[in-house]
Amino acid sequence: MAAPLDLDQLQSFCAIADCGSFTEAARRVNKTQSAVSMQIKRLEERLGHALLSRDGRTVTLTHHGEVLYERARKMLRTNAEILDHFSDGDLAGSIRFGVPDDYAVRLLPVILSSFQRTHPKIVVDVSCMASEHLLEGMRAGRYDLIVFTQGTEQNFGELFRTEKMFWVASHGGRALASEPVAIACGPQYCIWRKDAMDALDRTGTDYRIAYTSSNATAISSAVLSDLAIGFLPESALQPGMRVVSDEHGLPHLPDAQMALMRASHAYGGIYDALANHIVQSMGNLEHPHQAEAAE
């Protein structure tokens, strides 16, 4: 019978896949770069295939590497679950957590405060910024866990919530009647902006980008100040906004998808405690600030 794969080798392999660098991966797994290189060499010899493609300082997964990566993650997760099952110690430690500011207004006070009450020995260091920046930070090793807006190119996010997207305007405002209609939205890399612009272009709607910001609070302020209309997921609606009804002719928007992404080491223990709390809490999250439909 073949001997099982070395979990330590798989951990180093996943770290390289996460960041695209042997040097950074060695730092993450607390090994020398030469030790990590030897681990990968032995892993490739064991499996009989090249797993990584090296082009100068850039390291990417080969086809066989991509196949292994998904399965290696599952093995690391199972290993962490087994260790947790037989552990009697209290959960303690620190977690670097990132969340889009689109959700920070409601996610942080409701979810993180309750988590700190139930897990007082776990310290959560929070950063709020755009999903694209959070994903870049994850690749750079700045986070253990992030919540982000799921896009079609993200293969390793754990989708846990889908919400309706709404066109919104200031209650009693006139921006909706402007010609062309003024839009407040995120930067070009924002997936919600891309979806909205594609929908507007398909329907031939005349519009202009009147207000651009990577900060969700700034976009909401532009809508509430009647500088423009915008588009937001259900949980981000605020008092003073009204949902634009279908009779105004604006196109239907794709649903917003929220996903959780982990660093390859962030399984079991304190990481599962926070991840499970977020998923459960967001699943039970109500929407007390349902906006009124536009007249």
Q: What is the pLDDT confidence band of residue 289, given thresholds at 50, 70 and 90?
A: very low
Amino acid at site 188: Q
pLDDT for residue 286:
60
pTM of the model: 0.82
Q: What average pLDDT does this structure show over 83-112?
A: 84
**DSSP assigned state of 275:** H
Q: What is the pLDDT of residues 178-195, one digit of tens each?
A: 899 999 998 888 888 999
Please give the torsion angle defined by the CA atoms of residues 274, 275, 280 and 284, in that order, rounded to the nearest 10 degrees.
90
Please give the pLDDT value at position 106.
65
Looking at domain 165-254, which of 1.10.287.610, 3.90.1150.10, 3.40.190.10, 3.10.129.10 is its CATH number?
Answer: 3.40.190.10
Say yes or no to pLDDT of 221 above 70: yes
Q: Give the tens place of pLDDT for each residue, 194-212.
A: 999 999 999 999 999 999 9
Confirm whether 93-162+257-282 and 165-254 share one CATH topology. Answer: yes
- Per domain, the residue ranges of the chain are 7-86, 93-162+257-282, 165-254
Average pLDDT taken over every residue of the chain: 88
pLDDT at 94 over 50: yes
Chain centre distance of CA 270 = 19
Closest CA to 137 of 164, 196, 174, 97: 97
- The CA-to-CA distance between both ends of the chain, in Å, stands at 71
- From the list 82, 52, 74, the residue with the least C-alpha distance to 5 is 74
Query: pLDDT band for position 32 (50/70/90)?
Result: very high
User: In which residue are the tokens 């929070």 written?
Assistant: 126
User: Class for domain 93-162+257-282, per CATH?
Assistant: alpha beta
Q: Tens digit of pLDDT for each residue in 231-280? A: 998 878 888 999 998 888 899 999 988 889 999 899 999 999 999 998 88
Whether omega before 251 lies within 30 degrees of 0, making that bond cis, reads no
The beta-strand segments (E) located in 213-291 are 230-233, 241-243, 256-262
What CATH number belongs to 7-86? Answer: 1.10.10.10
